[in-house]
Copies of this chain bind each other. A is one copy, B any other.
Amino acid sequence: MKADALRGHLDPMILAVVEQEPLHGYAIMEALLERSGGELDLPTGTLYPALRRLERAGYLASEWSTVGGRKRRTYQLTAAGTKMLASGKQEWLTFRAVVEGVLRPGQA
C-alpha cells in the first residue's frame, strides 16, 4: 500500500482504535496492525507525531504512567474527538462513494 494513500485517513483510524478503551502509542500501533490484517504497520515517525497533532487539536488527551519500568503515554478520546470520529466515519463513506463512482472497481 502506497504511503500517501493514507493521507487524511489516518486520523479517524487512530481515533477509532481508542474509541473503546484508552491506549498508549505502542498499543495503538499494534491495534492498527491487527485490525488491518497486518497491512497497516505504521513507522513510529508517523504515529507519534500524529498523536501529538491530534492532542494539540483537542481530539485526544494523554496521561503518563509507568508499567513494568516503562513509561507510557496513554491517550483517550475527548468529547471533540468523539465528534471528530463520527464525522470522520461519515466522510469516509462519502469518499468511498466518490472513488467507487469514478473507479468502478467492479469492471476489469
Contact = CB atoms under 8 A, between A and B. Distances in A.
A43 interface: no
A95 B35 contact: no
Interface of A: 1-9, 12-13, 16-17, 32, 35-37, 39-40, 86, 88-89, 91-99, 101-105, 108
11 contacts: A1-B95, A2-B8, A5-B8, A5-B9, A13-B102, A39-B97, A40-B98, A86-B108, A88-B103, A92-B99, A93-B105
Contacts of A8: 2-7
A9 to B, nearest CB: 6
A6, A40, A95: residue with the most chain B Cβ atoms closer than 10 Å = A95
8 tightest Cβ-Cβ pairs between the two chains A and B: A7-B7, A5-B8, A4-B8, A4-B7, A13-B102, A36-B98, A35-B102, A89-B105
Nearest to A104: B16
A49 B97 CA distance: 25
